Amino acid sequence: MWITGSLLLHPPHSKTLCPMTYNPKISLTRINTKQQTLVSTLSLSKLMEKLTVNVRNEEIQYLRHHVQYDNGRYVGSRHHKLHRLYPSVRLCKGDDGQPHPAGYNDLLLLSAGPVREEEQLLQLKRMAQVLPSTAAAFVGSSGQTLKLLVRITLPDAVRLQNEAEMERFFRKAYEVAAALYSSLLQLPVGPSGITDGSSPAMASCRLSADAQPLVSDEATPLRIDGTETSIAPPPEEQPVELEDETQRLISYLNHRYEFRYNTVRGATEYLDKEQAFWGWRATELRFINTLSIGARKAGIDARPKDVMTYLNSTLIRSIDPIDNYLYLNDEEWDGHDYIGDVADLVPTDLKEWKRWFRYWFLGMVAQWMGYNGKFGNSIVPLLIGAQGWHKSTFCRQLLPPELQWGYLDSLKFDNPRQVMQAMSDSLLINMDEFNSISRKTQEGFLKNTLQLATLPLKRPYARRTEQVKRIASFIATSNMTDVLSDPSGSRRFFVVNLTAPIQTDRRIPYRQLYAQAVRAVRDNEQRWFDSKEQEAVMSHNRQYAQLSSADLYFHEYFEPASQTDPDAREMTSAELFSYIRKQAGATAITESLTTFGRYLSQMPGLIRLRRRNGTVYVVKQRHVHSI
């Protein structure tokens, strides 16, 4: 029997409640003012009553307001005051003060959405009644998801006592239940609060508010038995309507795959539920054809265009994965320097590495958050080390699993249009084998591109070019030491010479790492080189420069001098250029006079002075030559 919350539940002031034949205990946790984790329990009926009372809860109202109007950007820490519900596991506090599993419940916690319309949420709650395994349905704390409590059958006592066995069991149970409910609701459905690879038994959500939660007093368990699953027959036979071909196709596609429309990349992506470790991938043509063939083998009359129509429809949920990860992060930074810990994974003799890496990392996150309005993140770490020292692996591991789709390391920099496109829909671009990028590209296109905050792009079928927000930051790797060819552009890079392989076997606590970065960006912590640090960077980088003929011949005949040196001479770049060509031969310096002048302007220790005849440099000759 199904009863809405308004009928089942008495008013908040009442102390009585209608009896329920199925009324399990659910674990809750919260953090007190001393940052201690407290564990409590609440029956299902009391939980439903609490949801109706929470309609007036200020924290929930505040959260829903900001999720609705600014995607949760300014929620802050108020929502962390709310309890978290753990329906699948019974918790107790361990010796370390943290909650640990003490047993298991026959409940799953699923989340469906996002759904922005209140009326649609109400309809979805009613649709959930179709499946007898639904124990309860209520609106999530954000106001844009539907939470489902689904009753299942637990395994035998031997498996119940083995944590590893129970993790595998719940993983299977959630996979089956998610496919079942996503097919029914025509929405993405999955375990709530599980995004970092943790045990599905720890699925959780914040304590929410719902004036009319739906609850069943006789939920029939969804039978989970190792590799086979079925729904236990309901008490009375119910007529089942046959699905049409479109519904059958959608059910087939959502059984194995989860789909989403990535608003950053402007493309539909899929997650293989059986191989989730591969992460989200683009739905390219070969994949669509494979889906069509699979559907036809299953007896569904589906052409590639039918699959493509569904994948490019509004039935696929839209998601901004950057906002979803950074702004709806359930963890508040605990004060530890996680960014410094990541920097410590890289063995180097560069004393400034930790500070400079922090500038770059904060600049990358600020770029994602849209804080770099005028200038893009133009700092680029350049890791130099032997083959097999895990440089590229480290670069990839800087992104959490949820954002791995945004990593790119196979970009061709001789194609400006491709680079611009990548900067608008990627998060981190690794310029792998940086030494293979030509001198012309380094000194021209790349030098100017690194500082852009917006990008001129012409979208497919568009008639004109538009300015698109840049998202990507850069990092680079190389096996060679003489890699920098542009003396005036080298301030954008800082070379990191590795002294040993990078430690890539350490677990990175991504949630805390990025919570720290978001806090620092919002506090406007420095994420750029000041003028003094730019000089230090350029001085450091000179040892990694590709020596040009201008470099070689200048130091053959001259050296920087002080104005008080009796042998000092003031010479323009043209005079120095002409003198070297006269002494060493007209073809000695292959660079142009302009390039030679730019080289002089960036030389550490070389004094520049403005005179009536232009800019002069204070030098002295290394050998006795007549001028």
Residue 361's CATH number: 3.40.50.300
* Residues 6 or more apart in contact with residue 274 via CB below 8 angstroms: 256
List pLDDT tens digits, range 394-412. 999 999 988 988 999 878 8
Question: What values do phi and psi take at 9, rounded to 5?
Answer: -95, 140
List pLDDT tens digits, range 31-82. 877 777 888 888 888 889 988 888 888 778 877 776 766 554 444 445 566 8
Give yes or no for a contact between 439 and 485, defined as CB atoms under 8 angstroms apart. yes
* Residues 6 or more apart in contact with residue 14 via CB below 8 angstroms: none
Least confident of 76-80, 136-140, 238-242, 245-249: 238-242
Considering the domain boundaries, does residue 228 fall inside one? yes
Considering the domain boundaries, does residue 627 fall inside one? no
Segment 265-270 mean pLDDT: 86
In a shared domain, residues 317 and 351: no
List pLDDT tens digits, range 150-197. 999 888 776 677 676 677 788 888 888 888 888 888 888 888 887 555
Strand partners, 190: 111
Exposed / middle / buried, residue 83 (Cβ in 10 Å: 0-12, 13-18, 19+): buried
Considering the domain boundaries, does residue 626 fall inside one? no
**Regarding beta strands 466-469 and 407-408, do their DSSP bridges make them parallel or antiparallel, or are they unpaired?**
unpaired
Least confident of 46-50, 201-205, 319-323, 509-513: 319-323
CATH code of the domain containing 606: 1.10.10
CA 563 to CA 556: how far, in whole Å?
Answer: 21
Structural domains of the chain, count:
4
Give the residue with greater pLDDT, 539 vs 234: 539
Least confident of 153-157, 434-438, 569-573: 434-438
CA 402, 407, 410 angle in degrees (round to 5)?
A: 155
pTM of the model: 0.52
Give yes or no for a contact between 602 and 488, defined as CB atoms under 8 angstroms apart. yes
Considering the domain boundaries, does residue 266 fall inside one? yes
Considering the domain boundaries, does residue 591 fall inside one? yes
In a shared domain, residues 224 and 261: no
- For 128, other C-beta atoms within 10 Å of its C-beta total 25
In a shared domain, residues 396 and 524: yes
CA 149 to CA 133: how far, in whole Å?
Answer: 9
Three-class DSSP category at 174? helix
**Side chain identity at 174, as an amino acid letter?**
Y
Residue with structure tokens 């844009």? 144
Q: Above 80 in pLDDT, residue 517?
A: yes
pLDDT of residue 383: 93
Q: Above 90 in pLDDT, residue 1?
A: no
Q: Which of 328, 349, 384 corresponds to the end of one domain?
A: 328
**Side chain identity at 389, as an amino acid letter?**
W
Strand partners, 478: 384
In a shared domain, residues 105 and 182: yes
In a shared domain, residues 453 and 499: yes
pLDDT of residue 20: 63
| pLDDT band, residue 198 (cuts 50/70/90) | low
Question: Which range, 165-174, 437-446, 493-502, has the best average confidence (pLDDT)?
Answer: 493-502
pLDDT of residue 540: 83
Considering the domain boundaries, does residue 333 fall inside one? no
In a shared domain, residues 91 and 144: yes
Give the residue with greater pLDDT, 194 vs 231: 194
Question: Which range, 10-24, 255-269, 587-601, has the best average confidence (pLDDT)?
Answer: 255-269
Least confident of 400-404, 479-483, 534-538, 571-575: 479-483
Q: Above 90 in pLDDT, residue 512?
A: yes
In a shared domain, residues 318 and 353: no
Three-class DSSP category at 580? helix
* Mean pLDDT over each residue of the chain, to the nearest integer: 80
pLDDT of residue 2: 37
Find, among 533, 439, 537, the residue nearest to 482 by Cα. 439
Question: Which range, 503-517, 520-534, 540-554, has the best average confidence (pLDDT)?
Answer: 503-517
pLDDT of residue 301: 86
pLDDT of residue 581: 81
Give the residue with greater pLDDT, 566 vs 66: 566
pLDDT of residue 365: 92
List pLDDT tens digits, range 272-304. 888 877 778 889 889 999 999 999 998 888 888
What distances in angstroms separate CA 21 from CA 87, 147, 212, one per listed residue?
18, 21, 20
Segment 81-92 mean pLDDT: 86
In a shared domain, residues 571 and 530: no
* Residues 6 or more apart in contact with residue 370 via CB below 8 angstroms: 469
pLDDT of residue 13: 33
Q: Above 90 in pLDDT, residue 499?
A: yes
Considering the domain boundaries, does residue 281 fall inside one? yes
Q: Above 70 in pLDDT, residue 391?
A: yes
In a shared domain, residues 517 and 569: no
Least confident of 297-301, 440-444, 487-491, 559-563: 487-491
Q: Above 90 in pLDDT, residue 510?
A: yes
Residue with structure tokens 């849209």? 370
CA 142 to CA 598: how far, in whole Å?
Answer: 56
CA 315 to CA 298: how far, in whole Å?
Answer: 22
Q: Which of 283, 301, 328 corresponds to the end of one domain?
A: 328
Least confident of 12-21, 38-47, 314-323, 582-591: 12-21
In a shared domain, residues 232 and 315: no
List pLDDT tens digits, range 353-378. 999 999 999 999 988 887 776 778 88
List pLDDT tens digits, range 301-339. 888 888 998 898 878 887 778 877 886 665 688 899 999
Q: Above 80 in pLDDT, residue 590?
A: no
Rounded to the nearest 5 percent, the helix, strand and coil shares of the chain are 40, 20, 40
Exposed / middle / buried, residue 42 (Cβ in 10 Å: 0-12, 13-18, 19+): middle
What distances in angstroms separate CA 289 from CA 304, 307, 342, one per listed residue?
6, 8, 42
Give the residue with greater pLDDT, 269 vs 12: 269
Give yes or no for a contact between 234 and 220, defined as CB atoms under 8 angstroms apart. yes
Percent of the chain with pLDDT over 70: 83
Q: Which of 310, 328, 346 corresponds to the end of one domain?
A: 328
Q: Which domain holds residue 555?
A: 547-621
In a shared domain, residues 11 and 142: yes
In a shared domain, residues 392 and 314: no
**Side chain identity at 147, as an amino acid letter?**
K
CA 195 to CA 188: how far, in whole Å?
Answer: 14
